[in-house]
Amino acid sequence: MTDDLLGRHRAVLPDWLALYYEEPIEITHGEGRHVWDSHGNRYLDFFGGILTTMTAHALPEITKAVSEQAGRILHSSTLYLNRPMVELAERIAQLSGIPNARVFFTTSGTEANDTALLLATTYRRSNTVLAMRNSYHGRSFSAVGITGNRSWSPTSLSPLQTLYVHGGVRSRGPFAHLDDQGFIEACVDDLTDLLGHTRPPAALIAEPIQGVGGFTSPPDGLYAAFREVLQERGILWISDEVQTGWGRTGEHFWGWQAHGQSGPPDMLTFAKGIGNGMSIGGVVARAEIMNCLDANSISTFGGTQITMAAGLANLNYLLEHDLQGNARRVGGMLIERLRAVAAQVPAVREVRGRGLMIGIELARPGTDEAYPEAASAVLEAAREGGLLIGKGGGHDTSALRIAPPLSLNVAEAEEGAAILERALRSIQ
């Protein structure tokens, strides 16, 4: 029983381990874009286990690859040659756009970002890092230290000195009133001024679209403009693609490509969707950066054979079925549909996003004040209507997060939009 499971959960797991819903649900199985709970209720899944079930639930091509690999060997560590790891690394290096790329696999986005920080600070001999306000990069000690979102930052202690930069949120902050070009210029001026008051940092780490921050993003070209300033000083650019990678934004395979006028980043990190539920993360970096460590290292679980088999099958399916194109087409339709609904709901401040990465920010009607109670109410109403979504945001968690599997079809998008419309109207 779910109630008994909830009691057992509370008895042995941390109080800070968040659960959705006043009556939390246990998801027992899934198929395609749908999941079922332990009471037999069926839901259209618009969150994919936090953007992780990227392709589909129980996709035969992936389950077959995992099953076949499990019948051979599950794991051997990086101390031995590993064919699936090499094959997936070759594919990702080529797709990354980073010249002379090297790939290191981890088990999560947190660990990937932690590794990127280790590489950047070692390569640059500096423990100062630039990060964006409203950002989120993981739950490790170093990743929390560069997270610019109070809701997900439980301590100010850190091995790093972090300087926070303007620009990750277009519609809030001191430059929100400017047009896009003015916004970029003001953020660049602020960055340049900041760098004039500190010793040169190791790197800027930034999400092209801020995930936990509520799917916010700057105008296209901001990070290209930042890159020019950074390159003059030898500062690295790390693109955190944990949520934006693999074509989710529709227009681009990687989020950095919306800011690619000055070329690819020095490093990118990835995780979540590439494993379609299996634990895969990683870092791609130029060889001289990746190879800068002068001590031994291994990864016990990063690159293990069964996760690599899943990643290869998932990536093949994604590319062969043009799921990036599907995200662009179906996501574009879904955003327009939601904007039409939002125009009739005073509590909706903004509908934003790209492809199948859509945020709906709520505010108290007639104000810009955060409205977390409304976000929670819509989350509950959507679940009651048969739809699972997420929430986030840097202003008291007032944004709804919509990120279905990239194979979502038009009929499912329409169904989800109709449920969301009813849920949004219920808070008026």
Listed range (149-153, 292-296, 339-343, 370-374) with the worst mean pLDDT: 149-153
pLDDT greater than 60 at residue 321: yes
pLDDT greater than 70 at residue 285: yes
Note the pLDDT tens digit of each residue in 48-59.
999 999 999 999
Note the pLDDT tens digit of each residue in 2-21.
569 999 999 999 999 999 99
Output the pLDDT for position 156. Answer: 84
User: pLDDT band at 179, cuts 50/70/90?
Assistant: very high
Beta bridge partners of 237: 204
pLDDT greater than 50 at residue 334: yes
Output the pLDDT for position 341. Answer: 95
Output the pLDDT for position 3. Answer: 65
pLDDT greater than 70 at residue 180: yes
pLDDT greater than 70 at residue 111: yes
pLDDT greater than 50 at residue 149: yes
Output the pLDDT for position 244. Answer: 97
Output the pLDDT for position 377. Answer: 97
Write down the architecture of domain 2-58+323-425 according to CATH: Alpha-Beta Complex (3.90)
CB of 20 within 8 A of CB of 35?
Answer: no
Beta bridge partners of 393: none
List all residues 6 or more positions away from 19 whose beta carbon is below 8 Å from its beta carbon: 9
Q: pTM to 2 decimals?
A: 0.95
pLDDT greater than 50 at residue 1: no
Mean pLDDT across the chain: 95
Q: Where are the domains of the chain?
A: 2-58+323-425, 64-320
Output the pLDDT for position 428. Answer: 81
Instruction: Give the single-character DSSP code of 57.
Output: B
Determine how many CB atoms are found less than 10 A away from the CB of residue 31: 12
pLDDT greater than 60 at residue 287: yes
The strand pair at 27-31 and 34-37 is best described as: antiparallel
What is the pLDDT averaged over residues 43-52?
97
What is the pLDDT averaged over residues 393-409?
92
What is the pLDDT averaged over residues 30-52?
97
Output the pLDDT for position 152. Answer: 79
Q: Do domains 2-58+323-425 and 64-320 have the same CATH topology?
A: no
Note the pLDDT tens digit of each residue in 344-392.
999 999 999 999 999 999 999 999 999 999 999 999 999 999 999 999 9
pLDDT greater than 60 at residue 231: yes
Output the pLDDT for position 148. Answer: 86
CATH code given to domain 64-320:
3.40.640.10
